[in-house]
């Protein structure tokens, strides 16, 4: 058997080298095929040799619907399935193709990184979005991932309210402008625009600006929710003025319908897995929202009113309402040219940060999201037909368990890490003395990157690589730090060839990555969001953060549950193959055989 496993890749290489099939497989994709276990690649390869089984011979879908559920860990839909209805997640899992073993292969599992990886089908080393923020050495400051001072919001007063914004990454932006310019490779939506000569209508909607901008790509239109104005907004990268239907939607002020109301449990508490666990001391007691049901939204003029909406299923419900209006007013899916609509639902991420993945709130949020999805699918079925719609659902990352919950289960090693100690620890102080540095050696830490003070290092005439490696070696001694990897080691690929190190390499971009990449041990987290203490934080290379669902549905796909390893990068490659267009420019994804079968 071992000899068979060793010989098949060689035979496969030889066979493909002598057929025209290889010309249809990009070299980067062919190389990745041979890295997979034999059982994982046979379905994809066999499909190429079986006539009449490929979607390439069929009709095009009228709409490609790409759904991203922010922080939907791969086990959550199954875990809470007993409380779900019939038209949402059940439709996807029972009538679609559900890949149950999908993991990202990059280390920094943050929102922008995952969204752009879904859009481009590649890793941050190629698409360039290495984190929600990074230190821009040319600007001399931390930069927000999609900020672009050349463009501005079309709505006055809709910029991030830095006094009341709880997302520290958004507060780093120095301009209200947003664009996809920092995304270095093409997206699936870009390739649709190119292939169909600009005739595909391409839109993306999300509560988060980075959720919408990433999936719309460079050629589409993006809308996101402004907590400052309570409206969906965009920048003049996309439009010079709003379409009338957007003005009409905003004029209705749908967000204000939640004023003086509350997020209440959908079912009796006995129907929930965590029905008896509503109040846990480790949950975040956000002002005016509380730790127990019902969670009050407050008055419309309360400074945290719209923030509370995003911390609940209301954020997803507003996103759905706007997306349905867009679908109708822009007449998506009404001709023979495939259109593209991406919807990123953000509430699961916010609820996870505040209450954790094992909470009554996350469970009821999934119940409400399930209803939101069912509403969306019923609307699309009425307007376009699910048989004419190709649906792909996944997540940008998973989410961890809260240390307090793990402690309740007897798992005592989980704890929070205080990053303020990084420059003040005795080991770092000793290094500063060794190098003759009296000022701060550590300039900044923005997860997962540590940035050294380049100016001080240069002024002292020190070798930057030597300082990097010395600091990394000392950081490895910190309790809770699993790895500290210098950028020089990554630039030279001078790291052990392990799965974890490959994920860090996949996250490395020479112009954007920090000086040292920190990986904390499993279940060790940072919980300080620049003053706001949260219950949990994702962003690690561990399986709880990389594990996400991948589900395809619609267009008459044969239901299946597939357990072999796949990656979320495969989604854009599969959609491209189904549409008979070329994949995004940096794509490393493998088209999934089950989706292409007829």
Specify the DSSP class assigned to residue 294: S
Nearest to 202 by CA among 383, 226, 212, 237: 212
Per-residue pLDDT at 501 exceeds 70: yes
Instruction: Please state, in angstroms and rounded to a whole number, the distance separating the CA atoms of residues 480 and 501.
Output: 18
63-137+146-407 and 418-479+481-520: identical CATH topology: no
Give the integer Cα–Cα distance in Å for 431 and 434: 5
24 pLDDT above the threshold of 70: no
Predicted local distance difference test score (pLDDT) of residue 257: 98
The pairing of beta strand 97-103 with beta strand 547-554: antiparallel
Q: Is residue 8 scored above 90 in pLDDT?
A: no
d(CA 522, CA 516): 19
User: In this model, does residue 450 exceed pLDDT 80?
Assistant: yes
User: What pLDDT is attached to residue 56?
Assistant: 38
Q: Is the dihedral of CA 593, 594, 595, 596 positive or negative?
A: positive
Give the 3-state secondary structure of residue 184: coil
Structure tokens at 333: 């899916």
CB atoms within 10 A of CB 322: 24
Q: For the chain, what's the residue count?
A: 598
Peptide linkage before 122 cis (omega within 30 of 0)? no
Assigned token pair, 246: 């957007």
- Dump pLDDT digits (tens) for 435-445: 888 778 888 88
pTM (two decimals): 0.91
What pLDDT score was predicted for residue 225?
98
Indicate the pLDDT class of residue 485, thresholds 50, 70 and 90. Answer: very high
pLDDT digits (tens, 9 = 90+) for 367-420: 999 999 999 999 999 999 999 999 999 999 999 999 999 999 999 988 888 877
Domain ranges of the chain: 63-137+146-407, 418-479+481-520
Report how far Cα 108 is from the mean position of its chain's Cα atoms.
10
Inform me whether the pLDDT recorded for 15 exceeds 60.
no
Look up tokens 């998506």; give the residue: 332
Average of per-residue pLDDT across 147-171: 92
Q: Is the CB of residue 63 less than 8 Å from the CB of residue 379?
A: no
Could you give the 3-state DSSP secondary structure of residue 532?
Answer: strand
Q: Which two tokens stand for residue 152?
A: 């501005």
Greatest alpha-carbon pair distance for the chain in Å reads 71
What CATH number labels 418-479+481-520?
3.30.1360.150
Separation between Cα atoms, residue 428 and residue 443, nearest integer Å: 13
DSSP 8-state code for residue 584 = P
The answer, yes or no, to whether residue 22 has pLDDT greater than 50, is no
Q: Where are the alpha helices (DSSP H) in 492-569?
A: 499-506, 543-546
- Structure confidence at residue 428 as a pLDDT band (50, 70, 90): confident
Q: For the chain, what is the mean pLDDT? A: 90
Signed CA dihedral, 262, 311, 355, 87: sign only: positive
Is pLDDT of 288 > 80?
A: yes
CA 362 – CA 350 distance, rounded (Å): 10
Residue 96's contacts (CB-CB under 8 Å, 6 or more residues apart) are 391, 551, 552, 553, 554, 557, 559
Residue-level pLDDT at 4: 30
Identify the pLDDT of residue 6.
37
Structure confidence at residue 543 (pLDDT): 98
Catalytic residue of the set 68, 109, 111, 319: 111
User: How confident is the model over 296-349, as pLDDT tens digits?
Assistant: 999 999 999 999 999 999 999 999 999 999 999 999 999 999 999 999 999 999
Is-catalytic flag, 111? Answer: yes
Top CATH class, 63-137+146-407: alpha beta
Candidate from 2-11, 140-149, 340-349 with smallest mean pLDDT: 2-11
pLDDT band (50, 70, 90) for residue 27: very low
Return the minimum-mean-pLDDT range out of 41-45, 99-103, 587-591.
41-45
Q: Would the pLDDT of 13 be above 70? A: no
Distance of alpha carbon 142 from alpha carbon 146, whole angstroms: 12
Q: What is the rounded average pLDDT of the residues 207-229?
A: 98
**239-244: average pLDDT:** 98
Query: Cα separations (Å) of 376 from 63, 112, 152, 273, 491?
Result: 13, 24, 31, 26, 45
Can you tell me the mean pLDDT for 34-59?
A: 47
Report the C-alpha gap between 594 and 53 in whole angstroms.
Answer: 10
DSSP of 467-512, one letter per residue?
HHHHHHHHHTTSTTEEEEEEHHHHHTT-S---HHHHHHHHT--TTT
Q: Over range 357-364, report the average pLDDT.
A: 98
- Indicate whether 593 pLDDT > 60: yes
What are the C-alpha distances in Å from 137 to residues 183, 454, 455, 469?
Answer: 18, 9, 11, 20
CA 473/CA 10 separation, integer angstroms? 41
What confidence score (pLDDT) does residue 436 get?
87
Tokens, residue 339: 């259109």
């Amino acid at each position: 058997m071992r000899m068979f496993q060793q010989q098949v890749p060689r035979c496969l290489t030889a066979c493909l080298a002598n057929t025209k099939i290889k010309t249809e497989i990009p070299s980067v994709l062919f190389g990745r095929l041979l890295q997979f276990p034999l059982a994982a690649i046979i379905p994809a390869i066999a499909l190429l040799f079986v006539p009449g089984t490929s979607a390439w011979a069929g009709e095009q879908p009228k709409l490609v619907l790409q759904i991203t559920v922010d922080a939907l860990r791969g086990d959550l839909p199954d875990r809470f399935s007993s409380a779900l209805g019939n038209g949402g997640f059940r439709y996807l899992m029972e009538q679609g193709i559900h890949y149950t073993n999908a993991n990202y292969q990059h280390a920094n599992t943050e929102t922008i990184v995952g969204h752009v990886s879904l859009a481009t089908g590649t890793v941050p080393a190629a698409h360039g979005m290495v984190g929600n923020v990074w230190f821009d050495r040319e600007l001399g400051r931390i930069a927000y991932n999609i900020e672009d001072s050349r463009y501005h919001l079309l709505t006055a007063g809709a910029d991030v309210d830095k006094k009341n914004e709880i997302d520290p990454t958004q507060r780093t932006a120095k301009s209200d402008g947003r664009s996809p310019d920092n995304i270095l490779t093409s997206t699936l939506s870009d390739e649709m625009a190119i292939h169909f000569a600009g005739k595909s209508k391409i839109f993306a909607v999300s509560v988060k600006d980075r959720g919408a901008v990433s999936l719309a790509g460079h050629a589409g239109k993006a809308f996101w929710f402004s907590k400052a104005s309570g409206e969906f907004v965009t920048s003049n990268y996309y439009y010079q003025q709003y379409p009338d239907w957007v003005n009409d939607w905003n004029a209705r002020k749908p967000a204000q319908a939640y004023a003086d109301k509350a997020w209440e449990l959908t079912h009796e508490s006995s129907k929930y897995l965590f029905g008896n666990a509503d109040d846990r001391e480790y949950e975040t007691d956000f002002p005016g929202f509380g730790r127990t049901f019902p969670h009050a939204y407050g008055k419309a003029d309360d400074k945290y009113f719209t923030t509370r909406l995003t911390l609940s299923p209301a954020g997803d419900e507003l996103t759905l309402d706007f997306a349905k209006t867009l679908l109708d007013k822009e007449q998506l899916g009404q001709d023979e040219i495939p259109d593209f609509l991406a919807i990123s639902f953000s509430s699961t991420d916010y609820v996870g940060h505040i209450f954790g993945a094992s909470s009554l709130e996350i469970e009821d949020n999934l119940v409400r999201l399930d209803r939101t999805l069912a509403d969306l699918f019923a609307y699309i079925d009425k307007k376009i037909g699910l048989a004419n719609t190709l649906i792909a659902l996944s997540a940008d990352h998973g989410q961890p368990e809260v240390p307090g919950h793990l402690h309740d289960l007897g798992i005592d090693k989980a704890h929070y890490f205080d990053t303020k100690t990084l420059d003040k620890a005795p080991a770092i102080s000793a290094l500063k003395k060794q190098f003759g540095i009296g000022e701060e050696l550590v300039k900044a830490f923005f997860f997962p990157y540590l940035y050294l003070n380049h100016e001080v290092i240069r002024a002292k005439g020190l070798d930057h690589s030597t300082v990097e490696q010395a600091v990394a070696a000392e950081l490895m001694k910190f309790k809770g730090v699993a790895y500290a990897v210098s950028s020089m080691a990554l630039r030279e690929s001078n790291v052990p060839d392990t799965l974890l190190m490959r994920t860090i390499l996949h996250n490395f971009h020479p112009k954007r990555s920090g000086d040292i990449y920190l990986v904390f041990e499993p279940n060790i987290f940072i919980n300080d969001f620049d003053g706001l203490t949260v219950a949990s934080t994702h962003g690690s290379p561990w399986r709880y953060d990389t594990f996400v669902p991948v589900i395809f549905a619609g267009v008459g796909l044969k239901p299946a549950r597939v357990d072999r390893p796949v990656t979320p990068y495969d989604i854009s490659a599969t959609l491209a193959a189904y549409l008979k267009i070329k994949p995004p420019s940096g794509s490393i994804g493998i088209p999934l055989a089950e989706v292409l079968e007829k």
